Structure 1
Amino acid sequence: MSSPTNAEAQISELELLFSMFPNELLVDDQLALAELRDYMQGKMLSPPTSRLQFTVHLQLDAPNVVCVLSCAIPPNYPAVLPEISTRSDALYRTQQGQLNTDLQEYLREKCCGEICMLNAIEWIKEHAATYMSKETIPVEKRQTDNRIKDAICTRLWIYSHHIYNKEKRKNIVEWAKELSLTGFSMPGKPGVVCVEGPQSACEEYWARVKKLTWQRILIRHREDTTLDVTNVNMDAEIRMFQKFTNFEEKIFDVRGNKGNHMDLGQLYQFLNERECGDIFPLYFGVEGKTS
């Protein structure tokens, strides 16, 4: 369980990292950080409900290779280990998975019960290059693979038992915009998220979202379309695939005693206007009706 002592250790470590990586460290939710400070200083009696999450972009010794470290701090850290994962365009999925597995093993052996972010960063900077060399992939093949992935547009229809948490809602919107995806999210119970765009960006989005703490979340339906790579105007091809022009959070009229159920008739109308009303039965098991 979180305590002011744990909060103080978390804040002290983050301030140290800020001093070392002033331009490379990004806190995902400034409100979570502010609440943690208030709790540490006794301005809040109850522990914060939001978890502190941040990313660090590490420039490795290899030329033009960046490794992104994502970290979620549990309330009782450093008594327990943080949730740390890394990703890099220079690593294939198998390499990346092995790197993360070995990093967790190192932290379990060396850092249990102690602040460990700096140790994790140093370990990554020291060892990441060895994972890149374990499975050498020609640059030409990697570029070809990327072109093939970029030539596939994907639409993910994501279902969640509920979406209430303001931090999750913020991440859902901001990550979609960061990855240049279009679509929408509907908070409440149940929660609905749709993202569309290049396959690689959609997969990255889903990888981030599913790592958050959920009662239940899954991809209810997936659509993949291969674009015409001979077409010089790929942007036009992508626009033909898209059902949405941007990404937004949609708030419909609320229903139910607790006011946490969105008007599904308005959702159905919204989907119909974008020629995707046929997705409604996949989510709710009944044909859609407008309000």
Structure 2
Amino acid sequence: MSHEEDALSALQLLAAMYPLDGELVLGDSAAAALAACEAGDEPVLSSPLELVVRIPIDDDAGPDVTRRVELTVSLLLDAPVKISVRQPPFLSRGAYADLAAALPIAPEHESASDTVMTAIETVRATASTLAVTEEPADPVPDVVVDDGALERVWFWFPSLSTREKRRDLVEYAATYRLTGFVLAGKPGLLCLEGGGKAVDRYMAAIKSESWGDIPSYQKKLVSSLPELTAQVTERLRRALLSSERKFKVMSEITHLIPQHGQYNHRGDMGEVKRLMEEWGVGDDFGAAVMNTS
């Protein structure tokens, strides 16, 4: 079975397992592929099938109080499936680290369906155990957080390559209810959609926690070249209507862009521009990166 057939099979399995509203959040490519399959057509696959599985961990609880863990799944068309888990609000960062560490490493040549099913069962069991150990003695009332008005914000990195920091940029987003993408390389790009105040809190957490190993007087992103340091800058902040939101999940898109240069870390900006236009954010990309308006 080819990677494409394997990815489609896993997508159809998950859609059958999680048919209820809100259980499965599909990215644009996954939604289009699933719609084509349901219509009996041959799906046109040009990018990974991105989706989020919202796994319930309280099987005996009512629907209104069910706690869920969100599993981000990227069904690649030319490589094995990529899976990561988002931090749920009911787990501390330490417990979340244990949950993320519990994700199994897929055996070579295992099908995407088997890999995803194993990850789901592992996450459900581990999260359930961790949640019990962290339950407070008395119920804690829900705290209403003011995320601010909906915005799309673009950040520019002269260089972004450190794998751990790229992973944090993706994984921290769920805590702040943000979506968008990370593009590594030279330059690097971060696009976020969500509440403007939430974006600010997210960046503050990234700088204080993810970048905590960098001196406080020099909060810079260190690239793979030891002699090169560069300051991240906010390039564009645009107010949005809910209908103008373009991204359903937070993901890294570096693998979608051809790379070149001595260290194979310079993305093809023409291809990035084409992808941004395809996703409906070409004007913002031009204003933020290409200095057009």
Under a length normalisation based on structure 2, what TM-score does the superposition of the two structures give? 0.48
Q: Which has the higher contact order (CA 8 A, sep 6+)?
A: 2
Under a length normalisation based on structure 1, what TM-score does the superposition of the two structures give? 0.49
Higher Cα Rg, which structure: 1
